[in-house]
Every structure is written in C-alpha cells, then in structure tokens.
C-alpha cells in the first residue's frame, strides 16, 4: 500500500512541475478524462500545484480530502515546497506514504484506484517493492506530456471544460441587489451603528494604528516639490535681497507642489454568511471602516459590498424546482442577496450607517462566492481608474445546502475557482483574498490566511500595502469577458 501511495505522490509531483513550467501541459492535464481510479494522485496534485483536479473527478477528490485524517493533512501540505527538490521530496513523501498506509482512509482510497492499475503498473510496483519507481520511467512519462503540449501525439488535446459557462442558476427571479439603507428603517440602522461603535474597544485601537500606518505609507509615496517666483504663498528667504533691491519686480513667494497618488479603485467584498455571525462580522465591519477612511483620505476610490442569500435551503427557487418535478442538475437554487454597503461614488460619512446592517443576524445566511465575485468584478471593471483591486474577505468555501445536494458538493467551489482564474488571466482587475480561519489559496492565486478574525486588520493592511507598493501589472489580453 505504501508503495502505491508513494507512486501517486511522485506522479503528482511531476504533473505539478509540468503545470507550473508549461501552460500547455497544464491544459492537457486538466482536460484529461480521469476517473475514480486516480483520486489519490489528484488529491496530491491539488496540494502540490495549488490547482483543482479535472471536473470529472472533482467530487471524488473532495470526498477523499474531506475524509482524510487530520494527522495527515500537515504532512501533505509540507510536500509542496519540496516539489523542485526531488531527493528531499522523496524522503518526505516516503514517510508520509507509510503513515498514510496505516490508516483505513488510504486503503479505501487506493481500493477505488486498484481496479484501473494496468498490468505494466502492477509489474512496476512489484519490481520496485520499496515503493520507488525509477526516475527515468517517470521522466519518460513527463516528456510524453511535454510533447503532447507541443503538438505531439502522446495524448489527444481537448479544451478544458469552461465551468463559468456550465454553471447556471435555476432561476434568477428571486435574486436582488440592494442598498444597505433600504433593508432596514433609519432608526434600526442607527441602533446597529451605535452597537458597532460600542464594541471591540481594544480591536479598534489596533486597527486604527494599522489604518494610520497604511495612510502614512500612501502619503509617503506622493512626490513633493517646490514652485518658486510666485506672487503669493510662503515667503522665500532667499528672495528677500531681490525684494529690497527691486520691490516692483520681485516675486518672493514659494508654494509646495504635491503629485497625487496614481488613480486607483478598491472594492472590498465581504462574506456575510451565517458562519461570520458574532465576533467575526463585528471585526470585519470595524476593520473595513477604518481602512476605507484611510484610503479615502489619500484620494483612493473605495467600494464595500457584501453577499449572502435571501433564504436558507434554497427558499422559493427550490420550491419551484421541486414543484417542477426536481429535474436533474438544476444549477444554483438559493436566491442571491448582494448588498451595496458603500458605493464607490458615495463618501464614507454618508454610507457609514449602512455598515451596521451586517450586525443583523437574520441577514447572514449562506454564501455563493462565485457569482458574488463576478458581480463585484463587473462593477469595478466599469470604473475609469487605471488600477483596480478586488479584495475578498471570506471565512470558508462557497456553501448552499440546496444547491450542493442537487448538483454535487464541488459545484459551487468549481465555479468560484473558474471565476477567480478567469479574472487572473484576462481582466485588468487585480484580485486577492483573505481567508479567515480557512485557506483560500485553492481558489485565489494571491491569498492570505489568518487564524481568526482578530488578525483581519493586519492582513487587510498588508494586502493593501502590497497592492499600492507594487508597480501596476501589465494589461492582460481581454480574450473573453468575465461574466
């Protein structure tokens, strides 16, 4: 068993290298029609390459990952930095393979794969009883994939399935985009706002310090210079002699000239699902407010959006689906609730009361991240500013029980990954994410994970600082619009 697990890890390592070095190899790998026979290998590939498996086995890999013993998870993640160092990878992978083989979980996963092991593969395992296939044999397999990417006949090349297209909603009749102020009476918003202001005194102080640090960093990037020989301004001591000698001709004043920061727009997209209820949503609201204030003082355009669903368990859309006979693969069932907490064109002093809405418990339900990211991206892309950042704050994977029961557990996660990849590759908008108690790197290429909501202010400050400190990314080819 340990030998077969090791073989799967090494094959996944080579696939991860090929996907990282050659885009064509990545395309071929993810277009490959794999099945339940290769779950262990694709689970390792997902950990090593930070890419999802082909759609045909995504649900199977998700099941295996969910059933993996907690003791094995750190060891699999520790293999990722060793992908390019084969000797170190081999030693660590062998230890993990022996540890995994001792668990019934691995036996079950490999039992599903055993039926497809070719006779050649069985001979190879028998020949190398210690569990290590020859490096040359694996190199040959890697070379065949490279040739396939270059147009060789090693395997048929197919376009990967476009999950953004295959994903769909059963009905959009119950979806809505609303302004926060329209969801509650002014008196209720004032009460919620007062509650927000009264909470989290120590956290407010820490977040304020970080926001001020961000503001100082932004202001330091503004180039300053002086203009001389002016008729008004600050008196220039070096011109006093000229003023005395020729009072009518001297212009003894100067003024400081300040170049503005490069124009930019930032959208903060906040997960308003039920799992954020309590302290996490309090800290998220407070941190967002302070960061927005710091950015606005520096002339940065900001927008704050939230997302959840209107009903639990599918609501009216699911009832309509059931009334129609519950046809297969209905698509997304839960009605969306997209909330504009602060529009880009509205100053924070006019929008601040709406932020208190996130403290209303009945608002926080389920989260369908893929469509929320599409919505926020579409709004941001219409802005005229040359630099645009979409920053997502979420504490978990997309989840809607009704949708996942009807379409499979990986349905919403696949869509989010496809949307984020699409924006990364084709949109001028830069996208990043912060996972609160959850690793979101499987969805976003630029992501940070924090252990709890208390660390959100520091993570948000670091993400914004990195965005403004880095040069603008070259414009990506707009081959296809992101929907």
pLDDT tens series, the chain, 483 aa: 788 888 888 888 888 888 877 777 777 777 655 544 467 888 888 888 877 777 777 777 778 887 888 888 888 888 888 888 888 888 888 888 888 888 888 776 665 533 333 333 333 333 333 333 333 444 444 344 433 333 333 233 233 333 334 899 999 999 999 998 888 888 888 888 888 777 755 556 665 676 677 667 666 655 556 777 777 778 777 777 777 777 666 777 777 765 555 678 899 999 998 888 877 888 778 778 877 877 877 778 889 999 999 998 888 999 999 999 999 889 999 999 999 999 988 888 888 888 888 888 888 899 999 999 999 999 999 998 888 989 998 887 898 989 988 988 889 999 999 999 999 888 999 898 888 877 788 899 888 877 666 676 677 777 777 776 666 555 454 434 444
Contact 426, 482 (CB under 8 A): yes
Listed by start position, the domains of the chain span: 2-161, 176-213+261-469, 223-258
Token look-up 């029609």 returns 33
pTM: 0.57
pLDDT reported for residue 122: 37
Strand order from edge to edge, sheet including 447-450: 176-179, 336-342, 301-309, 264-271, 387-394, 430-436, 447-450
- Please tell me the distance from the alpha carbon of residue 340 to that of residue 434, in angstroms, as a whole number: 20
Contact 93, 101 (CB under 8 A): no
Contact 444, 420 (CB under 8 A): yes
Strand order from edge to edge, sheet including 234-235: 224-230, 253-258, 234-235
Widest Cα–Cα separation across the chain:
103
pLDDT reported for residue 370: 94
401-406-407 Cα angle (round to 5)? 100
Quote the DSSP letter at residue 227. Answer: E
**E strands within 329-402?**
336-342, 387-394
What are the structure tokens assigned to 234, written together? 């600050």
Residue 134 contacts by C-beta under 8 Å, 6 or more apart in sequence?
128
Beta bridge partners of 367: 399
The length of the chain is 483
- Please tell me the distance from the alpha carbon of residue 30 to that of residue 55, in angstroms, as a whole number: 8
Please spell the DSSP secondary structure of 140-198, one letter per residue.
Answer: HHHHHHHHHHTT-SSS---PPP-HHHH--BS--TT-EEEEGGGGS-HHHHHHHHHHHHH
For residue 202, how many C-alpha atoms fall within 13 Å in the half-sphere facing its CB? 2
Give the helix/strand (H/E) hosting 305: strand 301-309
Contact 14, 26 (CB under 8 A): no
The CATH number of 176-213+261-469 is 3.40.50.410
Quote the DSSP letter at residue 300. Answer: -
């Amino acid at each position: 068993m340990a030998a077969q697990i090791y073989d799967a890890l090494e094959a996944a390592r080579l696939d991860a290298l090929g996907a990282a070095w050659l885009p064509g190899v990545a395309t071929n790998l993810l277009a490959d029609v794999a099945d339940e026979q290769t779950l262990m290998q694709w689970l390792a590939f997902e950990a090593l390459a930070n890419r999802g498996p082909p759609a045909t086995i995504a649900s199977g890999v998700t099941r295996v990952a969910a059933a993996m013993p907690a003791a094995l998870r750190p060891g699999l993640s520790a293999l990722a930095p060793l992908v390019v160092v084969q000797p170190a990878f081999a030693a660590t992978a062998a230890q993990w393979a022996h540890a995994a083989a001792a668990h019934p979980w691995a036996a079950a996963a490999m039992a599903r794969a055993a039926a497809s092991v070719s006779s050649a593969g069985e001979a190879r395992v028998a020949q190398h009883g210690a569990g290590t296939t020859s490096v040359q044999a694996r190199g040959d397999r890697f070379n065949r994939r490279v040739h396939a990417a270059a147009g060789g006949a090693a395997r048929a090349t197919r376009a990967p399935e476009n999950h953004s297209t295959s994903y769909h909603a059963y009905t959009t009749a119950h979806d809505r985009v609303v302004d926060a102020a329209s969801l509650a009476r002014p008196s209720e918003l004032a009460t919620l706002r007062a509650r927000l202001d009264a909470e989290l005194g120590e956290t407010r102080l820490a977040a304020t310090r970080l926001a001020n640090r961000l503001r100082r960093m932004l202001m330091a990037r503004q180039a300053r210079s002086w203009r001389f020989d002016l008729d008004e301004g600050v008196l220039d001591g070096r011109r006093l002699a000229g003023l005395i000698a020729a009072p009518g001709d001297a212009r003894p004043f100067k003024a400081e000239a300040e170049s503005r920061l490069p124009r930019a727009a930032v959208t903060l997209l906040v997960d308003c699902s039920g799992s954020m209820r309590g302290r996490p949503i309090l800290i998220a609201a407070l941190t967002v407010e302070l960061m927005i204030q710091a950015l606005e003082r520096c002339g940065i355009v900001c927008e704050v959006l939230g997302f959840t669903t209107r009903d639990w368990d599918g609501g009216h859309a699911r009832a309509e689906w059931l009334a129609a006979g519950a046809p297969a693969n209905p698509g997304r069932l839960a009605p969306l609730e997209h909330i504009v907490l602060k529009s880009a064109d509205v100053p924070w002093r006019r929008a601040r009361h709406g932020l208190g809405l996130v403290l209303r418990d009945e608002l926080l339900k389920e989260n369908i991240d893929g469509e929320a990211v599409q919505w926020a991206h579409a709004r941001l892309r219409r802005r005229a500013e040359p630099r645009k950042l979409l920053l997502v704050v979420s504490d978990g994977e997309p989840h809607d029980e009704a949708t996942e029961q009807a379409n499979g557990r990986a349905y919403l996660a696949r869509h989010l990954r496809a949307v984020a990849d699409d924006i990364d590759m084709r949109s001028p908008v830069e996208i990043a994410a912060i996972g609160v108690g959850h690793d979101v790197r499987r969805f976003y290429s630029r992501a940070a994970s924090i252990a709890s909501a208390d660390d959100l202010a520091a993570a948000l400050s670091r993400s914004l600082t990195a965005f403004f400190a880095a040069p603008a990314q070259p414009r990506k080819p707009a081959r296809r619009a992101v929907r």
